[in-house]
Structure 1
Amino acid sequence: MRADPPPKQAQRLRTLYDYDILDTPREADFDEIVALAAQICDAPISVINLIDKDRQWFKAEVGLGARETPLETSLCSHAILDAPFVEIPDTLNDPRMADNPLCAGEDGLRFYAGALLVAPNGLPLGTLCILDKEPRRLSAEQRNAVAVLSRQVMKQLDLRLALRRQSVLMSEADHRVKNSLQTLSAMIRMHARGLTDDSSRDALDAIQRRVQAVASLHGQLQHNTGRDEVEAGAFLGQVVDLLQETAPAHIEIGCRSDAIALKAGAASAMGLIVSEFVANAIKHGFPGEAAGEIAIDLSLVDGCYRLICQDNGIGSASGGLSRPGGLGQTLLSAAAAQLDGTLDTALTPEGSRLTLTF
């Protein structure tokens, strides 16, 4: 006989569907649980089953060889209407299952024991069950083991649900941060256009570059599974791409990096240094329409990180002793101090060069 629908069926189904587990592939985490349950109970069949509207679906099973069956033949659909743990020593002596075709015949299922899979709201989703083709009883230790394993199944499901919800929230937060940074960047550009004072314009340009570097860092962190570090090559590549977009067409910017993972704070400081060097190289190193190149290189040498930024501009021919000055130098010094690093800048006949060791 088919079981009656459980109480609060609509809410129970919504709860089940929230887990997004139905019709997913087999997974070792759940396969190992049913294998262990069968071994502990010395039974040929063990199943993690979830009761859908018109079927029972098996997330994992041993000894059954199926992924789902209709509710008309479901033993577990009766179990979820009963106590937290249901044991039926002989199914043919139970009026709910005596006419079930799965229980009839020489190879019929004659023994059933199931521990409910209960969601945090108290509603049953299915069972972890043990089946045998001979009437029998479980020992107290076996019943306890099945109950414990059923709770482990729910912990796995709850953890996955929590991680999925966290991912959704992080995605929404990521979207909002990106929008905020884009809005801020647009406002900076708009205000910079109306300025005639060089120092004020330089300050806004520096802020603009900082916002762009932060946006790049944020994007890298969002793709790094929650760790507070980024792959330096990818991050530098994004920073350089943004700088290239605003650079004159006659200046090419390139970068190279060893396989290095940096903490977010270190990457942020390094991104600022790269941005400032490139901005000053473009401003001072290539007067007029002089073509040139700017190269960024990050390497790991003798246990220290070494960042080299250099251009092939006019260098010392500009008449200056070093670059940059004023606000740019203050930003560079502050970033180097944040890294507890050593910063060296120089102008040569071959161009400008910055070396940061940290």
Structure 2
Amino acid sequence: MNAAVLQFHHREAFEHTVTRALAAGAGAGLLQWLTLRLGVPVPLTWLVPAAVVLACARGDRWDRGLLSGLGLLLIGLPYGLGLSPGWTVATSGAAAGALLVRARLNDLGEEGQVAEARPTLVHYGLGGVLGAGLTLAGGVVADILALRLASVATPTLLAAGVVGAIVGLFVGLGAIAAHLGLTADPVEARAEELLPQLSGDFHALSERALSLYRHCGQSLAKLPREPAREELARTLARITRGAVELASEWAGVEAQLEERATAELQAERDSLERSARASTDAVARRQLEVAAASLSEEVERLGDMRQRRERIIARLRAEVALLERARVALLSLRSGQAQLKAAELASLARRFRALSTAQGEEGQAMDAVAAQVTLAQVAPVEAPPPA
């Protein structure tokens, strides 16, 4: 297990979840006190997890509605299965823990973020285990605390709120599963995999593209979750991945394109030509001339590759410049009102999608022209024999 697995992500989001869980637990405690007064007691270990899930539901309206419905159903279901009290509380808490992980995924958006970590099935399982254990522990602590508060004649309404908040705290801590060792963003993971293979300008430009991609992700995370945000996220992911993949195609070629390598080939060619002129044997001279001609072709090919490299570098610089424009544009969006943000975000997403498409088509057209020129130089049409 590497260090990344134990890394803690999004501390502020976790703190917000725990704060909401505390407030929801206190409210559930007061509701349980009310049910006791009405003579229809409801278990606190059902009310609190359900209230925490309802309070921490994230996403759009459909996501929040679905998560809230599942919270009421799955958390209450164990109480109708006739299980022992311990297993009932544990099963209910496990459902709450898994749903808190899902709430975090809804908050991120499965395709609406860039450079973000996303929960996986492992984290759902971890959330269930933590939810079960912490809910059981919270129930025990709540029972002990209730006795202590009763012994000092604490007002029942205040005691109910405090006890509920304690259980809510334990349930909310189960959300930590959604913040530990999350799977990296696929584009970011691919870039980090390819970067060690790159060198020179390709490494520098790819590293800059990844850095800008991460900055854009931080800005996108602060914007409202809109379809335009997801469209822009996909566009930025496509630009970044395309730039890194393009650079990786030239991995290992940098050393061959150095001036020293070309000079060595030219020196070897000149040496073969001198040897051919000095040779007195016709067969040996012919072999030396063929070898020198072959090296001349290699020198020309290196020149062509150097030109193609310049085109690729220019294309990568254009991709990086586009990401830089996106970063600046997203920074300016963060200071506007919500309605203006949504409208500007939609316009920004359309504009960058058009720019990315046009830039990609232009690059493909240039590659096609370069390939045709290369083929024409490498395989010239032979003249027909004289009649």
TM-score by structure 2 length? 0.25
Q: Which has the higher strand share?
A: 1
TM-score by structure 1 length? 0.27
Q: Which has the higher helix share?
A: 2
